[in-house]
Amino acid sequence: MQADRSYIGTTVAVLTLLAILGVTMRRLYFENGSPPQADSSSGDLGPAGQAGSHPRPILSVMDLTRTPAQTQVVLAFLLLVPVGLLVTALARSVVGIHTIGTFSPTLLALSQARSDWRIGAVIFAVTFGLGSLCRMMLARFRLSTVPRRGVIGTFVVIALTVAISLSHSYGLATTARHILLPIAVMTIMIERFFSIMEKEGNRRALTVLANSIAVAICCFMIFAYTQTGQILVRFPELELLIMAVLILLGRYSGRSLLNAIGLLESGKPEQQDTE
């Protein structure tokens, strides 16, 4: 056990130092998040023989701000995933609540972060409700897992297609990202919701669903109303710091917040994962 703690402490320290070193090097070599430009008037050409080329092409690979604006949007979207996972881990380990899986709250928040959340909430409620109804009807067929999820996914696609068609009728445009993420998220959430219901009862399943939506709302507030994505594009080495915190949370064995205030019976949320 002592060896494990030493190994974990060393790993966390290395990740933290690498993150600090990365930020420091970026501040030294990239002025305001952009690579310094060579002076073309003095005839100083970069390694490619062009004026203004970065003198250190290896370091320039780490400068995500050199990419086109549309690519930066995609990168910001991608780099937010670990942030959502960190929020979920904090909710589960420190606060003491369960969610439907680890990725579901994050993906649900990402699917709404760049769209009108009010419309997204209505679409989610209607689609989740209809998908749940479909799942209840499939119980009589006793299908195996993969075909059953395929049927639910198909039903979710049909429901989303109708919802998107209605939204366009009212002049509300959507993108492929807003369509594909809800398909995966809701199919998985519906299946796991009923799995929890069968194993632990209706009340437990509804509680976990409410917890998942609450965590998704927290993630959404970070994604939609902060500059976290842009900061991570400028300083991607901060992902190492997130990884270090996740490792520490994975070893957390103290009392949860809900237990401390008397809302949980056990000192730590159950280790059973609802993935």
Confidence of residue 187 (pLDDT cuts 50, 70, 90): confident
202-225 helix and 176-200 helix, angle to the nearest 10 degrees: 150
What pLDDT, in 10s, does the model give residues 108-162? 898 888 777 777 787 788 888 888 889 888 888 888 888 988 998 898 888 878 8
Q: Tell which residue, 126, 121, 136, has the closest CA to residue 156.
A: 126
Tokens of 214: 């609450």
Return the axis-axis angle of helices 69-90 and 238-250, rounded to nearest 10°.
Answer: 20
pLDDT band at residue 272 using 50, 70 and 90 as cut-offs: very low
Which residues contact residue 117 at a Cβ distance below 8 angstroms, ignoring those fewer than 6 apart? 220, 224
- Apex 219 CA angle, 153 and 262, nearest 5: 105
Strand, coil or helix: 48: coil
Least confident range of 8-17, 40-49, 197-206, 264-273:
40-49
Mean pLDDT, the chain, integer? 79
| DSSP secondary structure code for residue 162 in this structure | H
- Please say if the pLDDT value at position 47 is more than 50: no
pLDDT confidence band for 175 (50 / 70 / 90): low
